[in-house]
């Protein structure tokens, strides 16, 4: 294995670590903010359920991985490997910069934008229009279903009696399902990058477990900043609304995964939280925080795509 191949493997693991660091905490943000679980309990649960979701992805098909693998064509020669390493580095740099400001961006969409940027640097023919279309459909579907699901479920709960213990336990269960759905969606997405140059090869169990484990390690090492931004600053909710948000986010991710659509946990869960807060009797939404998040989401695609394009050109000029 050459220097570039080693760099690609390390970069994939780095993206997975950052994903667990900045994306996975969204799955438990509502539960921690409402007091359904402590930070430590939430992180431990999310780590375990992410790992379980990654393993389950092997049994539920690899449509998400196939879409990501189809998005950008990278040859197995030096140029293709250099471009792949550059795209992954672009995602890491963007994600860490967003984490510094406590903004929950989407590593999933950052990855897909970076793949397109790197493929463009190699030649425009390397981008699949079909895969781009599926990504666009997934974005609209997951965000719309997350928001409408959170709003409608929360609205339906408004007339139900207050039973604090029931809602707390319900939210814990729903948060666990949300973390499982995150592992199910994101593990094959990032594992596919390890095998982009091995056309037709199924993702092995060890690869899925390795990716899930590294993502879980990222969640263990730090997610408090994102949890506070999403679960405390953006919305003010009670366990009833938190349960509705986790349930809606889980349904959004599961249905998207079953359709082979690569989507963002951050986008689906954040919109589910906003919908649940607006549909509930006691929830509120901070418009200023929402605007800053949406701005970061809008900038993710062009920023990661351009950064990957420039880094690819730089890497191609270096005689590795």
pLDDT for 296-306, tens place per residue? 888 888 999 99
CA distance 272 to 275: 5
Farthest-apart Cα atoms in the chain, separation: 68
Residue given tokens 């900043």 in the structure block? 225
Across 71-75, 108-112, 238-242, least confident range: 71-75
CA distance 93 to 225: 17
User: Does residue 264 register a pLDDT over 60?
Assistant: yes
Question: 105 has which bridge partners?
Answer: none
What is the per-residue pLDDT for 96?
Answer: 82
| φ/ψ (deg, to 5) at 267 | -65, -45
What is the per-residue pLDDT for 61?
Answer: 59
Closest CA to 102 of 239, 231, 251, 286: 231
| DSSP secondary structure code for residue 204 in this structure | P
User: Does residue 201 register a pLDDT over 70?
Assistant: no
Query: Is 313 exposed, middle or buried (CB count within 10 Å of its CB: 0-12, 13-18, 19+)?
Result: middle
CA distance 114 to 138: 17
The band of 105, judged by pLDDT with boundaries at 50, 70 and 90, is: confident
Say if residues 85 and 214 touch (Cβ distance below 8 Å). Answer: no
Region at 35 (left for phi over 0; alpha for psi -120 to 50; beta for the rest): left
pTM listed for this prediction: 0.84
Give the dihedral sign, CA 254/304/70/76: negative
CA distance 55 to 60: 10
Q: What are 108's two structure tokens? A: 């999933």
Provide, rounded to the nearest whole percent, the portion of the chain with pLDDT above 70.
86
What is the per-residue pLDDT for 247?
Answer: 93
User: Does residue 196 register a pLDDT over 60?
Assistant: no
User: Does residue 199 register a pLDDT over 60?
Assistant: no
Q: In whole numbers, what is the pLDDT of the chain averaged over residues?
A: 81
The band of 244, judged by pLDDT with boundaries at 50, 70 and 90, is: very high
């Amino acid at each position: 294995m050459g220097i570039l191949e080693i760099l690609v493997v390390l970069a994939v693991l780095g993206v997975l670590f950052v994903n667990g660091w900045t994306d996975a905490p969204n799955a438990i943000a509502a539960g921690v903010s409402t007091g359904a679980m402590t930070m430590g309990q939430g992180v431990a649960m999310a780590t375990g359920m992410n790992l379980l979701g990654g393993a389950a992805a092997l049994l539920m098909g690899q449509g998400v991985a196939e879409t990501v693998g189809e998005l950008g064509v990278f040859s197995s020669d030096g140029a293709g490997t250099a471009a792949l390493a550059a795209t992954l580095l672009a995602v890491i740099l963007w994600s860490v910069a967003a984490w510094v400001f406590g903004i929950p961006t989407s590593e999933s969409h950052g990855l897909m934008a970076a793949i397109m940027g790197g493929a463009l640097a190699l030649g425009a023919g390397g981008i699949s229009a079909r895969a781009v279309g599926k990504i666009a459909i997934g974005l609209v579907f997951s965000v719309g279903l997350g928001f409408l699901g959170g709003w409608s479920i929360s609205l339906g709960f408004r007339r139900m009696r207050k039973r604090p213990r029931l809602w707390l336990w319900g939210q814990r269960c729903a948060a666990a399902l949300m973390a499982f759905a995150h592992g199910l969606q994101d593990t094959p997405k990032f594992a596919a990058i390890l095998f982009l140059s091995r056309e037709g090869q199924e993702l092995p169990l060890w690869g899925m477990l390795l990716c899930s484990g590294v993502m879980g390690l990222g969640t263990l090492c730090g997610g408090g900043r994102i949890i506070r931004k999403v679960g405390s600053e953006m919305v003010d909710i009670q366990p009833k609304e938190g349960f509705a948000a986790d349930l809606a986010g889980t349904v959004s991710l599961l249905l998207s995964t079953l359709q082979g659509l690569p989507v963002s946990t951050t986008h689906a869960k954040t919109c589910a939280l906003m919908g649940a807060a607006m549909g509930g009797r006691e929830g509120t939404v901070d418009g200023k925080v929402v605007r800053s998040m949406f701005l970061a989401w809008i900038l993710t695609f062009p920023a990661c795509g351009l950064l990957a394009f420039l880094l690819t050109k730089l890497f191609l000029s270096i005689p590795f």
